[in-house]
């Protein structure tokens, strides 16, 4: 998202040879936004799976610590 925003808001596009950086900047920014939006559900799924996988071990260790 940052690269797209930089193209739209600054003169970087002109420096690298892009005559009108508005459209490429918006496209790059939208792709970055889409990637960020897709990332959260993937993270939640992985986190849930790992919590389920290690739940018994964590509870066992916490019981050991609490009863020590």
Cβ 5 vs Cβ 30: under 8 Å? no
The dihedrals phi and psi of 18, each to the nearest 5 degrees, come to -95, 120
Q: What is the pLDDT of residues 11-61, one digit of tens each?
A: 877 777 787 888 888 898 999 999 999 999 999 999 999 999 999 999 999
Cβ 14 vs Cβ 31: under 8 Å? no
- The residues spanned by each domain of the chain are 2-66
Complete DSSP assignment for 37-65: HHHHHHHHHHHHHHHHHHHHHHHHHHHHH
Predicted TM-score (pTM) of the model is: 0.59
From CA 18, how far away is CA 9, in angstroms rounded?
13
């Amino acid at each position: 998202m940052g690269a797209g925003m930089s193209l739209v808001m600054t003169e970087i596009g002109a420096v690298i040879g892009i005559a009108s950086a508005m459209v490429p900047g918006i496209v790059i920014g939208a792709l970055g936004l889409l990637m960020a939006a897709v990332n959260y559900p993937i993270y939640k799924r992985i986190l849930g799976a790992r919590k389920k996988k290690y739940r018994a071990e964590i509870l066992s260790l916490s019981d050991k610590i609490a009863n020590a």
